[in-house]
Amino acid sequence: MTLKILAVTDIHGNKICIKNILKKLKREEDRGKPVDYIVCCGDFTIFQHSMLTVLDWLNKLPKKVILIHGNHENAEQVRKACRQRKNIIFIHRKALRVQKEYVFLGYGGGGFALTDERFVAWSSNMMKKMKKEDRIILMTHGPAYGTNLDLFSGGHHCGNKDYTFFIKKYQPTLYLSGHIHECFGHSEKIKKSVLLNPGPFGVVVEIK
């Protein structure tokens, strides 16, 4: 079964990004190939300014929004706010199964650490619960180390090595991240895994 998502990250409270998401949703609808979910990899605010307003914007979008927080947001405050907004599914440190074989794994926050023992323990535990036929979509805010998604000014890599290890070991179908603005729109492939930083204006991804 095909899964079609509109992935976005780091909109930082910019309503123009919301308008662009709506345009892309309508374009796909007009083509007869509607998007199933909107997926956001965090930093939807600027240091949590007007967070509830931005969440209301996301909540009014015509598709379910699968969300993790970024380094600009507090996980617990986002979790609490999302409970009151039925169109947003907050999946930090959670798994969300959709369309039987697709599983979103969400791990928000951070973006600056080279390693993350909590991610290692959590992701290892999650993978023990997966079925062999499951198609994993991993969402983190910070990028995987040594990829096209974590190249900082001057050509230095600044991502997380544990994310890269996960990708190489478990080969998720799709890996989405944000955080590094210089890498908006960048993508890469590691074996069978597609890696993408969709940027603030969003990218439509169809998984077959």
Q: Is the Cβ–Cβ distance between 89 and 66 less than 8 Å?
A: yes
**More confident: 13 or 208:** 13
Q: What is the pLDDT of residue 1?
A: 86
User: Which tens digit of pLDDT belongs to each residue from 39-94?
Assistant: 999 999 999 999 999 999 999 999 999 999 999 999 999 999 999 999 999 999 99
User: Is 90 exceeded by the pLDDT of residue 184?
Assistant: yes
Measured between alpha carbons, how far is residue 79 from residues 20, 33, 38, 51 in Å? 25, 31, 17, 12
If one counts the domains in the chain, the total is 1
Rounded to 5, what percent of the chain is helix, strand, coil?
30, 25, 45
- pLDDT above 70 as % of the chain: 100
Q: Which CATH number fits the domain that encloses residue 150?
A: 3.60.21.10
User: Which tens digit of pLDDT belongs to each residue from 92-114?
Assistant: 999 999 989 999 999 999 999 99
Domain, as residue range, for 166: 3-207
